[in-house]
Amino acid sequence: MQARGACHRTVFLVLSRTALAALSAIVLAASAFAWSTVSTISTGVERSYAITDDAPRSESGRNVLVMGLTTRLDLHGEPLPDDVLRRMQAGESDRGGYNANTLILLHIPDSGPAVAMSVPRDNLVPLSSGGEGKIKEAYGRAKIVEEDRLRVAGTHDKRELERAGREAGRRAQVRTVSTFLNQPIDHLVEISLIGFFHIAEGLGGVDVCLRHATKDPLSGADFPAGPQHLDAGQALSFVRQRHGLKDGDLGRTRRQQAFLSAVTKRLRGADVTAVQAMIDMAKQDVVLDARFDLVEFAGNLPAEVRFDTLPIEGGAHLGGLDVNKVDQDEVRAKVTELATAPPPPPPDDGIPCVD
């Protein structure tokens, strides 16, 4: 019992240090670090080969691309149960498509703090498939093209089309982000809306703080001002809301970062049941690249993780769509600056308030 208790304390220590910047990847990694001798943590986790063995690698440190998808379907393209969709408050299973609405580049240096850089989803960039589009669209566009190609070639099995289409989407999203930021991608993590929901559900909800009361029927958000506890459905509404926020999508990005901080604080007091719930969640909701060694990753996590959002020049209207104009050189310079900046002051243990 003493050995198991020490193992559990190690889980909480690692989770507290990481700030959960890589979402479920770090939950998995932290758990793997402590549970590797008693549990086959990697068994059952979906793996991707979107990053090939001959792909460019970081020369200093590692870059992990975290992709949060809008789809309301499971990993096999099947609808979620009706009761889950109802509790998620995110609409029917056919909504959302396959946009990568959350894009975070987690840079882990050889020494010093890590930095999690949010990439605004509506940035107008060159896509790996050709032409320009919103950076979030690289995944969904490539998925459609690959599935159409396979159907013409005679493949009609739904699950095979879903698997191959999503692999094509991952390849396209990795290449698009890598080219835009001029950074190699060493690892990828993919999680969909149900993953965000399961994180909060496994922890019994999260604590957040809002500067102003807000209500948005599109996301289901209906919150008073001030500190408050959100259940899983409310937490998903919290990270999805953009209408009614002062900065729109950029405000939502800060909500996502606040959610990650809230999860970290919740995990500090979590019991073994909650940690196991995180493991079970990750196994059904997360995709990792084939080379992602969770135990090695956990053993080399830095003590600090900083959060920031990459810059945009402003909004624009193009072809009937609202997009973000960006200066690619400015964005790349910001990535370099964030990756080499000195550590910030120690974080406040309180709950930061957001709009």
How far is residue 236 CA from its own chain's centroid? 13
The predicted structure's pLDDT at residue 166: 96
Task: Write down how long the chain is.
Answer: 355
- Which residues in the chain come in under a pLDDT of 70? 1-44, 89-96, 248-249, 264, 267-279, 281-282, 294-295, 298-304, 315-321, 342-350
CA distance readout (Å), 4 to 30, 202, 267, 297 = 15, 21, 18, 22
The predicted structure's pLDDT at residue 50: 96
Token output for 257: 């970062």
Q: Scanning the structure block, which residue is given the tokens 């959960």?
A: 20
- pTM greater than 0.75 (yes/no): yes
Token output for 316: 């624009």
DSSP letters along 309-353, please? E----EEEEETTEEEEE--HHHHHHHHHHHHHPPPPPPPPSS--E
The half-sphere exposure of 21 on its side-chain side, counting CA atoms within 13 A, is: 26
Of 70, 80, 75, residue with least CA distance to 44: 75
Domain with 207 in it = 2-354
Residues contacting residue 25 through CB under 8 Å, at least 6 positions apart: 64, 66, 187, 189, 286, 288, 292, 294, 297
CA distance readout (Å), 90 to 83, 237, 240 = 12, 8, 9
Token output for 280: 């079970």
Token output for 161: 């089309």
Task: Give me the CATH number covering residue 89.
Answer: 3.40.630.190
Model confidence pLDDT, tens digit, residues 60-89:
889 999 898 888 788 888 888 777 777 776
The predicted structure's pLDDT at residue 322: 80
In 10 A of CB 53, how many CB atoms? 8
Tally of structural domains, the chain: 1
Model confidence pLDDT, tens digit, residues 107-140:
988 887 888 898 998 999 999 988 899 999 999 9
DSSP-H helix ranges across 60-119 = 82-88
Please answer whether residues 294 and 34 qualify as being in contact, where contact means their C-beta atoms are separated by less than 8 angstroms.
no
The predicted structure's pLDDT at residue 349: 57
Q: What is the DSSP letter of 273?
A: H
HEC-encoded secondary structure of 196-245? HHHHHHHCCCEEEEECCCEEECCCCEEECCEEEEECHHHHHHHHHCCCCC
Model confidence pLDDT, tens digit, residues 290-302:
998 766 776 666 6
The predicted structure's pLDDT at residue 218: 81
- Type of residue at 42: S
